[in-house]
Structure 1
Amino acid sequence: MKSLQVRITVLATVVTALLAGLAGVLLLEVQRDQVTASAVDGSRRYHLCAGQDCAELVPGALAGAPAPLVRYVGSEVHPELSLWPFGGDTRTPYQVTGDGPPIAPEFAQGVADAAQWRLNSITTAFLVVLAAVTTAVAVTVSAAVGRVLRPVERMRAEVAEINENNLTRRVPVPSSDSEVARLGAALNETLDRMHRSVEDTRRFVADASHELRSPLAALRAELEIALSHPYLADWPTVVKAALEDAERLQELTTDLLLLARLDADAPENQDTVDLSAVVRREVARRAMVTLEADDHVLVPGRRAQLSRLLGNLLDNAERHAGTAVVVRLRGGPSATLEVIDDGPGIPEADRERVFDRFARLDEARTRDAGGAGLGLAIARRIATRHHGTLEATDAEGFRGVRFVASIPTGIPQPRKAVVAHRRTGDEVWQFLNGSIVPAHGFLPEPRPAPEPEQVWELVFGGHPPVSLGRTPPRDLLPAGHRRWT
Structure 2
Amino acid sequence: MKSLQVKVTVLATVITALLIGLAGALMLVSQRQQIITQTADSSRLHYMCSSVNCVQLHEQTPVATPGMLVRYASTEVRPDLSLWPFTDLRETPYQLIGEGPQRSSEEARSTAYEAQLQLNSATTTLLSVLASITVLVSVTVLAAASRVLRPVEVMRAEVAEINEHNLTRRVPVPSSDNEIARLGATLNETLDRVHRTVEDTRRFVADASHELRSPLAALRAELEIALSHPHMADWPTVVKAALEDTERLQELTTDLLLLARLDADALDKQDTVDLTAVVQREISRRGMVTLEADDHVLVPGRRAQLSRLLGNLLDNAERHAGTAVIVRLRGGPSATLEVIDDGPGIPEADRERVFDRFTRLDEARTRAAGGAGLGLAIARRIATRHHGTLEATDAEGFRGIRFVATIPTGIPQPRKAAVMAQQRVGDEVWQYLNGSIISTHGHIPEPRPVPRPELDWDLIFGEHQPVHS
What secondary structure does 1:147 align onto? helix
| Native 8 Å contact 1:255 1:461 kept in 2 | no
Q: Is the 8 A contact 1:328 1:339 kept in 2?
A: yes
How far 1:68 sits from its partner (Å)?
2.5
Return the alpha-carbon distance in structure 2 between the equivalents of residues 168 and 202 of structure 1: 15
TM-score normalised by L of structure 1 = 0.85
Confirm whether residue 224 of structure 1 aligns to residue 224 of structure 2. yes
Q: Deviations over 1:180-237 (max 9, x none)?
A: 1111111111111111111111110000000000000111111111111111111111
Runs of 4+ in 1 over 3 A off after TM superposition: 453-459
Q: Look up the match of 1:78.
A: 78
Alignment pair present for 1:362 and 2:358:
no
Q: Deviations over 1:354-387 (max 9, x none)?
A: 0000011123342001110000000001111111
Residues 1:460 and 2:423 are matched in the alignment: no
Once the two structures are superposed, residues 405-443 of structure 1 have per-residue CA deviations (whole angstroms, 9 ceiling, x without a partner) of: 0111137xxxxxxxxxxxxxxxxxxxxxxxxxxxxxxxx
1-side partners of 2:235 and 2:331: how far apart? 54
RMSD: 1.7
Task: Specify the alignment match of 1:297 in structure 2.
Answer: 297
- Three-state SS of the structure 1 residue aligned to 2:340 is strand
Q: Quote how far apart the aligned CAs of 1:292 are.
A: 1.0
Alignment coverage as a number of residue pairs: 423
Distance in structure 1 (CA, Å) of the matches to 2:198 and 2:457: 26
Partners of 2:319 and 2:9 in 1: how far apart? 70
Equivalent residue of 2:213, what SS?
helix
The letter of the residue matching 1:460 is D
- What is the distance in 1 between the residues matched to 2:191 and 2:27? 56
SS, match of residue 64 in structure 1: coil
Equivalent AA in structure 1 for residue 107 of structure 2: F
Quote the residue 2:328 is aligned against: 328
1:459: how far off?
4.5
* Alignment partners' CA distance in 2, 1:12 and 1:318: 72
Residue type at the aligned position of 1:289: V
Which residue of structure 1 lines up, in the alignment, with residue 444 of structure 2? none
Contact 1:299–1:335 (8 Å) recurs in 2: yes
Q: Aligned ranges for residues 397-412 of structure 1 at < 5 Å?
A: 397-410=397-410
Paired residue type of 1:113: Y
Once residues 179 and 406 of structure 1 are traced to their aligned partners in structure 2, the CA distance between those partners, rounded to angstroms, is: 37
Provide the rounded CA distance (Å) in 2 between the counterparts of 1:194 and 1:66: 109
For the structure 1 residues 312 and 214, does the alpha-carbon distance in structure 2 shift closer, same or farther, using more than 3 Å as the test? same
Contact 1:254 1:461 in 2 (8 A): no
Q: Secondary structure at the match of 1:245?
A: helix
Describe the shift of the 1:206–1:71 C-alpha distance in structure 2 as closer, same or farther (beyond 3 A). Answer: same
Aligned position for 1:202? 202
Aligned to 1:98: 98
How far apart are residue 268 of structure 1 and its match? 2.9
Q: Once structures 1 and 2 are overlaid, which stretch shifts more, 134-143 or 70-79?
A: 70-79
What is the alpha-carbon distance in structure 2 between the residues aligned to residue 55 and residue 89 of structure 1?
Answer: 32
Take 1:239 and 1:212, find their aligned partners in 2: how far apart are those partners?
19
Per-residue CA deviations over 1:12-67 (Å, capped at 9, x if unaligned) read 01110110010111111111111000000111111121213111112321223353
For residues 144-155 of structure 1, the aligned pairs below 5 Å read 144-155=144-155
For 1:405-444, list aligned pairs within 5 A: 405-410=405-410
Query: Equivalent residue for 1:68?
Result: 68
* 1:382 paired residue number: 382
Asked if 1 retains the 8 angstrom alpha-carbon contact of 2:155 and 2:171, the reply is yes
Q: How does 1:248-397 map to 2 (within 5 A)?
A: 248-397=248-397
Specify the SS of the correspondent of 2:91.
coil
Counterpart contact for 2:90–2:113, Cα < 8 Å = no
Say if 1:294 and 1:330, in contact at 8 Å, map to a contact too. Answer: yes
Structure 1 stretches lacking a partner, 5+ long: 412-452, 464-483
Distance 1:166 1:66 in 2: 111
Residue identity opposite 2:317 in structure 1: A
What is the CA–CA distance in structure 2 between the aligned matches of 1:98 and 1:52, rounded to whole Å?
18
Partner of 2:242: 242
SS at match of 1:360: coil
Is this contact kept in 2: 1:358–1:373, CA < 8 A?
yes
Structure of higher RCO (CA pairs closer than 8 Å, 6+ residues apart): 2
CA contact (8 A) 2:89 2:117 kept: no
**In structure 2, how many angstroms separate the alpha carbons of the residues matched to 1:162 and 1:84?**
60
Please tell me whether the aligned partners of residues 290 and 325 of structure 2 are also in contact (alpha carbons under 8 angstroms): yes
CA distance in 1, matches of 2:230, 2:458: 35
Does the residue aligned with 1:29 lie in a helix, a strand or coil? Answer: helix
- 1:240 partner amino acid: K
Distance 2:125 2:288 in 1: 99
Q: Partner amino acid for 1:37? A: T
> Does the aligned pair in 1 maintain the 2:89–2:113 contact within 8 Å?
no
Structure 1 residue identity aligned to 2:186: A
Contact 2:313/2:403 (CA < 8 Å) preserved in 1?
yes
Gaps of 5+ in 2: 412-448, 460-467
